[in-house]
Structure 1
Amino acid sequence: MANPYFQFKQFTVYHDRCSMKVTTDACLFGAWVAHELHAASSPKYEILDIGSGSGLLSLMLAQSINGHIEGIELQDSDYLQSLENVAQSPYAERIQIFKGDALTFPYAKKYDVVISNPPFYEKDLRSDSSGKNIAHHDDGLKLDALVKLIQKVLQPSGTFYLLFPAKRIQEIKREIAISHLCINKMVSVRQTEKHTHFRFLLKGSFYETPLQQEEIVIKTDNNYTDAFVRLLQPYYLYL
């Protein structure tokens, strides 16, 4: 039986009732975003987590970043479990999770930072679970609609961060360009040096800058690489 929770150094994420479980690539994404925001040195951020699921990304950012985080989650089970995860964390006063459709939610402001680990597999085989189809496929949130939403809720000087599978990178590039947004940094991710890229971490804004391209390899010789350890050490128990 799979473990119903994932224990981090400063908080715990229960995910047994969530459609999207805690995964290595999601943890890497959260740690990378926190690292990027920390380097930007803003005194305080207003952050939106679109499709917040278990609350994983919101909790990771709350540990490392000074700011207020709002998550929006469509599915009842994920929403309720994320409320519990946030309430049991040290960051309950800085995170709010809302139940609703991200596309129609009545946002009261624009955000300095928008993050999302969106549905991945628009044309792949579906699960028998409607919840998993919403979480893993874009049954609930299409890619073009996500990018238009980011354009709508992002501050003119803000940044957005997305996690995507390598197979859809050309599609996300096209949608971002159509919406007059720009990709400023792109990090390709491989499981090992022997594997092909399977994820991309994207950073973007309204402003065009020279594109920064980097790579992260998760493991070598069955051990986490130095680059992975540097990012995840503040979070993982045994790093």
Structure 2
Amino acid sequence: MKRQGFQFKQFFVEHQDCAMKVGTDSIMLGSWVTCPTCNNDIAPQQFLDIGTGSGLLAIMLAQKSPAHTCITGIDIDSDAIGQAKRNMADCPWSEKLDAQQTSLQSFQKRKVEQKFTLIISNPPYFNSPILSEEKHTQKRVQARQTSELTHQSLLNNVAQLLADNGMFYCVLPSDVCEAFIDYANTIGLQLIKQLTAYSKPNTPALRELLAFGFEARALCTDSLTIYTENHQYSADYKALCKDYYLNF
């Protein structure tokens, strides 16, 4: 049987058991993240992927992170965690990776003393009731909506888990990011970097890639157009994702 998924330069991600498939948002986010350097004389750095799904973002971090890094992916969906575990085991950096079925809230309560130098998430982004009784559709809506994990709850838990010098990266639709940034500021998370993504030239902003930290710094902003007018990947998008896309 042909595997269902996405072939990257150095790994393959199966996603048939996941509500949310491999997509542009996560590939952009994982490519955009800058991993902190690691001093091998200290304890391994801890990274966290919230809502790991297929494990894609965790594996992307594993590819670019220092050798002494431990990356945990968490998700509430048992099927997704099973898929993530298999994808992690099959990738070249399996020793760095772990997947756990748990809610962020429960994970935070168990990890009160543990701090993460990097946290990443492609979080739920709209408020919507689950209307369909069909299992897969329900799971996809649950993966995309905020009823199980509101943005405020996400940020509150991130603030508890993030190290003092750590960074939190996420991607959101442009029309919801202002409220997200405003709330983050009220709990001490300062916006440090922002990349605005457009689908094509002369179209409204589509996504915002955001990076937060506790240490206030000058805000660094940039923009990116994903496709040309002819619906080909743009040179900027290829440059961003060249370490991962097979044909870039």
Superposed CA RMSD in Å reads: 1.7
Structure 1: which 5+ residue stretches go unaligned? none
* Structure-1 residue corresponding to 2:126: 121
Q: Which runs of 4+ in 1 moved over 4 A?
A: 124-127
Q: Does the Cα contact within 8 Å between 1:121 and 1:138 map onto a contact in 2?
A: yes
How many equivalent residue pairs? 233
Counterparts of 1:69 and 1:202 in 2: how far apart (Å)? Answer: 20
- Matched residues in 2 for 1:219 and 1:45: separation? 36
Rate the CA distance shift 1:27–1:127 in 2: closer, same or farther, 3 A.
farther
Cα 1:104–1:183 shift into 2, 3 Å: same
* Runs (5+) with no aligned partner, structure 2: none
1:89 corresponding residue in structure 2: 91
How far apart are 1:206 and its partner, in Å?
0.5
TM-score relative to the length of structure 2:
0.89
Q: Choose the corresponding residue for 2:233, options 204, 224, 227.
A: 224
Partners of 1:204 and 1:177 in 2: how far apart? Answer: 9
Closer/same/farther in 2, CA of residues 151 and 236 from structure 1, 3 Å limit:
same
Q: How does 1:1-239 map to 2 (within 5 A)?
A: 4-33=4-33, 36-37=34-35, 40-43=36-39, 45-66=45-66, 67-105=69-107, 106-107=110-111, 109-122=114-127, 124=128, 126=130, 128=132, 129-220=137-228, 221-239=230-248
Q: Post-superposition shift, 1:138?
A: 1.1
Q: Distance in 2 between matches of 1:167 and 1:3?
A: 35
Kindly state the Cα deviation for residue 46 of structure 1 after the two structures are TM-superposed: 1.6
Superposition deviation, residue 125 in structure 1: 6.2
TM-score of the aligned structures, taking structure 1 as reference length:
0.92
Distance of 1:102 and 1:46 partners within structure 2:
16
Q: Deviations over 1:143-184 (max 9, x none)?
A: 000000110000011111011111101110122012121001
Deviation at 1:73, TM superposition (A): 1.0
Matched residues, percent identical? 29
Distance 1:49 1:42 in 2: 18
